[in-house]
Amino acid sequence: MPDENLTRSAFEQLARALRSARLQRDLTIEEAGRLVKIRGAYIEKLEAADFSFLPPLYAYSHLRKYAGELGVGSKEQLEACRKELGIPDSRFSTKPAPADESAGSGSKPTIVLIVAVVSLVLALLALAVLLLR
């Protein structure tokens, strides 16, 4: 987990940069929200470095989108924010292991078992019919 002061600094620096860039473009909160299709209330929270308004992944997604549109925020700042929010790095996410080659042959015994059970049931039915005559 990154140093809390460093991360807080990254959050605050990025929040100040977002607000500054928006004001430089002479955009209101609502206009900025429409520009990036994010609610104005969320824009305000992002600019206040308050990420508690949504689940972390959504808040981070909005942050990246807004920062990208305004052209602010370094990769390192965004990375620090991602880590602080507890979002795993997708580049290192675990992927499902490929199926074993033997898994394909594992289905053959299942088919054989089904055929055996069906054959046994049919044989018992035939025997029952013969005995009831």
Token code pair at residue 55:
């689940």
At 100 the pLDDT is 52
At 1 the pLDDT is 43
At 98 the pLDDT is 54
The per-residue b/e assignment along 71-91, b for 16 or more CB within 10 angstroms, e otherwise, is ebbeeebbebbbebbeeeeee
> Which three-class secondary structure string do you get for the chain?
CCCHHHHHHHHHHHHHHHHHHHHHCCCCHHHHHHHHCCCHHHHHHHHCCCCCCCCHHHHHHHHHHHHHHHCCCCHHHHHHHHHHCCCCCHHHCCCCCCCCHHHHHHHHHHHHHHHHHHHHHHHHHHHHHHHHC
At 45 the pLDDT is 93
At 4 the pLDDT is 45
Domain ranges of the chain: 4-91
At 40 the pLDDT is 94
Token code pair at residue 113:
């078992």
Token code pair at residue 5:
């002061």
pLDDT by residue, tens only, the chain of 133 residues:
444 444 556 788 889 999 999 999 999 999 999 999 999 999 999 999 888 888 988 988 999 999 999 999 888 888 888 888 888 877 645 555 555 555 555 567 788 889 889 999 999 999 888 888 7
At 105 the pLDDT is 52
Name the architecture of domain 4-91.
Answer: Orthogonal Bundle (1.10)
